[in-house]
């Protein structure tokens, strides 16, 4: 009778538990790598935007200076 009370569902062996844990950790590690690349990409994008804004401001400043010089030359 005791054999009838036992579960017929196969139980994972300790080796399988390790495999699942390792697969889970690999998946977590891959996800962390993807997230890190996304953060790096976002940081690069922000840096490029900031640089573009600085260049635009500098170009506008130079244009204003050139206009002032041209106006001063016309007055003289």
As a residue count, the chain comes to: 76
Distance between CA atoms of residues 46 and 54, nearest Å: 12
Q: Can you spell out the DSSP letters for 5-37?
A: HS--SPPPPHHHHHHHHHHHHHHHHHHHHHHHH
Q: Which of 6-10, 15-19, 58-62 has the lowest mean pLDDT?
A: 15-19
Token digits for 4? 């009838």
Helix, strand or coil, per DSSP, at residue 29: helix
What are the residues whose beta carbons fall under 8 Å from the beta carbon of 12, sequence distance 6 or more?
Answer: 20
Q: What is the pLDDT of residues 24-67, one digit of tens each?
A: 999 999 999 999 999 999 999 999 999 999 999 999 999 999 99
pTM (predicted TM-score): 0.56
Res. 3: pLDDT tops 90: no
């Amino acid at each position: 009778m005791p054999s009838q009370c036992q579960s017929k569902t196969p139980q994972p062996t300790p080796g399988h538990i390790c495999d699942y844990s390792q697969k889970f950790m690999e998946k977590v590690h891959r996800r962390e790598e993807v997230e890190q690349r996304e953060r790096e990409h976002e940081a690069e994008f922000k840096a490029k935007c900031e640089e573009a804004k600085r260049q635009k401001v500098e170009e506008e400043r130079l244009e204003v200076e050139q206009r002032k010089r041209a106006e001063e030359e016309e007055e003289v």
